[in-house]
Amino acid sequence: MDFISLEMGLLFLAVFMAPILYIIFKQKSGKKKLDRHIDTLCNENGIKSENKAYIGHYIFVSDPGSNKLLTYDTKKNDPGISDLGDYKGCNIQKSWEKGEGTKAVLNNVTLVFQHREKGKPFRITLFDDNYENPLEAEVILHQAEKWSRQINTEIFR
């Protein structure tokens, strides 16, 4: 093999791999920064970040010891703290649209927290028509169902 061919091969490898590696490292550092921010929010509010879930563009952290729930909207940078003792349950509300042929297309996934006293339930819309990646709908639904079961076990303790 010629020395020039080896140099050209390494140069092309570097040119094509550098942007990919840059994106991967940038994404990992952004996730670590977000995790540190969530941990500081948890520490400020006395929540142990034992149970964490990333669903859509929301982050949920629950602490069974203090019976608190942290919700964080990554798009709006909006944290919210709720006391799980105020709720009698967590349900999933979903709606479907008729798609092509016999297919049904998931249109909306919402977590609904029912208050113990009468009043409007607390709703968190995880997926709707405006979501940036509609292919994630089923994944978000599955994660929301899993998280709803976990929250309900913490509420009913």
Q: In whole numbers, what is the pLDDT of the chain averaged over residues? A: 84
Q: Strand runs (DSSP E) across the chain, as ranges?
A: 51-55, 58-63, 68-73, 78-83, 87-98, 104-115, 122-127
- Determine the longest span between alpha carbons in the chain, in angstroms: 80
User: What pLDDT score does 23 carry?
Assistant: 92
In a domain, 58, yes or no: yes
% pLDDT > 70, the chain = 99
pTM (two decimals) = 0.76
In a domain, 39, yes or no: no
Residue span of the structural domain in which 119 resides: 45-155
pLDDT tens-place string over residues 62-107: 888 888 888 888 888 888 888 888 888 888 988 887 767 777 777 8
In a domain, 128, yes or no: yes
Number of domain units in the chain: 1
In a domain, 19, yes or no: no
* CATH of residue 91: 2.30.29
In a domain, 149, yes or no: yes
pLDDT tens-place string over residues 101-137: 777 777 888 888 888 888 788 888 888 777 777 777 8
User: What pLDDT score does 151 carry?
Assistant: 86
